[in-house]
Amino acid sequence: MRNFKYLNVIKAAVDRECPGVVSCADIVVLSGRDGVTMLGGPHFEVKTGRRDTTLHTTDKDADRYLLDADAGVDAFLDNMAKLNINTPQAVALIGSHTVGRVHCVHLVSRLYPTVDITLNATYAEYLKMRCPSPHPDPKAVKYARNDPITPMRFDNNYYKNVMQMKGLLRLDNALYLDPRTKPYVQRMAKDNSYFFQQFVEGMSILTEHNVLTGNKGEIRKHCEWVN
């Protein structure tokens, strides 16, 4: 995960009040939930009591679980099914792309040497302005926002963009083109409350997957390394 500095700021504040009680794992889940709410998304209850792993992990470990930037619908649905997340819940979870940004290094394969045929042509020209080189510096902060209309609002605009073929990642547009997921994209584009309902259901499953509780694991003193 990036931006652990913020996680540690929260951890330090919590530990001043109740040292050694709240895990970094709980802080990740709670801050994620609250971030969604602060941006206009749904507020939902999450369980607490997670403990932190005693294994040192790296970004390479995370990459084993995260989808590649060019992943398609098959890989996406298979990945979600392994977590017992069904299709509408999965489509809602990917709706979190309504906020945030994608770095150019993950976009250029859709723009160069030729533009991906599933990408809106006008939008592709805009993206080329954001990412003018087919070989961007991976350390440079060059990016495009997931949703250029309401970039800091957690809403269903992501689905409206996707229906216009304005999704940043290959998977985004593919969700509208695939008959298994298209009906849910269409419904969520029309019904924000349905999007929120399915998102909360998916998050409830996701945040309770493979957690450590009881005497397993530890409560870390610092979120970037084991005690």
Alpha carbon distance 194, 167 (integer Å): 20
Known binding residue 58? Answer is no
- Confirm whether residue 54 is marked as ligand binding: no
Tell me whether residue 150 is annotated as binding: yes
- Residue 147 marked as a ligand binder: yes
User: How far is 186 from 138, CA to CA, in rounded Å?
Assistant: 35
CA–centroid distance for 46 within its chain: 17
Task: Match 């602060």 to its residue by tokens.
Answer: 38
Phi, psi of 220 (to 5 degrees): -70, 150
SS3 assignment, position 146: coil
Using CA atoms, how far apart are residues 178 and 33, in angstroms rounded to an integer? 29
DSSP-derived letter for residue 52 is B
Other beta carbons within 10 angstroms of residue 195's beta carbon come to: 27
Q: Is 122 annotated as a binding residue?
A: no
SS3 98: helix
DSSP element (H, E) containing 202: helix 192-206
Binding residues for heme b are 97
Binding residues: 97-98, 147, 150, 155
Q: Which residues contribute to the annotated binding site for Ca(2+)?
A: 98, 147, 150, 155
